[in-house]
Amino acid sequence: MRTTILVALAAAALAQTPRLEFEAASIKPAAAYVYVPRGGPGSADPTHVSYRSMSMKNLLMAAYDLSIGRITGLAWIDSERYDVAASLAPGATKEQLAIMLQNLLADRFHLVVHRETRDMPLFEISLRKNGTLGSGLKPYVEGKPAAMQTSLSAPPPGGVMASLTPGRREVFARKQTMLNLVTLLSAEFGRPVIDKTGLTGDYDYVLEYLTQGPAASIGAQAPAAPDVLETPSLQSAVQDQLGLRLESKRGPIEVLVVDRGEKTPTAN
């Protein structure tokens, strides 16, 4: 009898747990392509977040802490872009922010998603055998930007600066986790990148590499500049500049599938 009562009390307490939601939120079609997430727990503005010109897939990446290659479903989750602005209570954690964003997307877009495991091509990223990092990847130090060899201006902590010329891309990132890095690599390779480095801190990095896909084809329309000819592939850049190892494999990956949803969000 006592066990039954305790279980009933626990179920009642769970049912009374308030649903995590933003204090206020607005969503509207993006006015320009800028792709800038800002604010939130751990930033200089912890009670406000904004996601500008984000596709639904980008928003789901933030909400479910997944790289781009692990989200699939309806075609419009790649094409449509949105500006999202929201406020949250002081003291909210990153984990709570993610749940709030999940709930917001479910409410405003009537999204229905599920998780499943699929066998697919992937990359595993790990430390080289000697365990040393490359000169392009340095531990982040508060208030002291790492001395990096780059033509780009230093972004603010948590930010990324990038330049794109025909056939070549340069990225300067500050205070980035390995999740941030594998998300970038997943987008560039078009397949999941699984982190096996064991690195848990924040890092500054510079990465310079040949672009793939449309950006690379643009450069092919005219004679390549000398600096482009000397630019390494992305896989070589990760190894030589960051001191990390990439292995192409195939294996089971948990993915998030968008089953249903509306392209136009409900009114704010």
DSSP readout, 211-234?
--THHHHHHTTSPPPHHHHTPPPH
The span from the CA of 257 to the CA of 66, in Å, is: 12
The span from the CA of 210 to the CA of 237, in Å, is: 9
Coil/strand/helix, residue 190: coil
Q: Two tokens at 110?
A: 């009537």
pLDDT at 36: 59
Q: Is the CB of residue 105 less than 8 Å from the CB of residue 113? A: no
pLDDT at 28: 85
Helix axes 234-242, 178-189, angle to 10 degrees: 160
pLDDT at 225: 46
pTM: 0.65
pLDDT at 213: 45
pLDDT at 138: 93
Q: Is the CB of residue 185 less than 8 Å from the CB of residue 238? A: yes
The span from the CA of 101 to the CA of 172, in Å, is: 28
Mark out the alpha helices in the chain (DSSP H runs).
Answer: 2-15, 56-64, 76-79, 94-109, 178-189, 214-219, 226-229, 234-242
Length of the chain: 268
In this structure, the strands spanning 71-73 and 160-165 are unpaired
Beta bridge partners of 39: 49
User: What is the separation, in whole angstroms, between the first and last Cα of the chain?
Assistant: 48
Q: What distances in angstroms separate CA 106 from CA 29, 97, 103, 133, one per listed residue?
A: 17, 14, 5, 41
- Name, in order, each residue with C-beta under 8 angstroms of 61's C-beta and a sequence gap of 6 or more: 67, 68, 71, 183
Give the pLDDT of the chain (268 residues) as one tens digit per residue: 444 444 444 445 445 568 889 888 889 888 765 555 677 787 777 888 888 888 999 899 889 988 778 899 999 998 899 999 999 889 899 899 999 999 999 999 999 999 999 999 999 999 988 888 998 999 999 887 677 888 888 888 888 888 877 788 999 999 999 988 988 898 888 888 999 999 999 999 999 999 764 333 323 333 344 454 567 899 999 999 999 999 999 999 999 999 999 999 998 7
The span from the CA of 49 to the CA of 63, in Å, is: 12
Domains of the chain: which residue ranges? 10-118+253-260, 133-242
- Name, in order, each residue with C-beta under 8 angstroms of 82's C-beta and a sequence gap of 6 or more: 27, 28, 29, 30, 51, 53, 54, 55, 56, 59, 265
The span from the CA of 202 to the CA of 178, in Å, is: 8
Q: Is the CB of residue 148 less than 8 Å from the CB of residue 172? A: yes
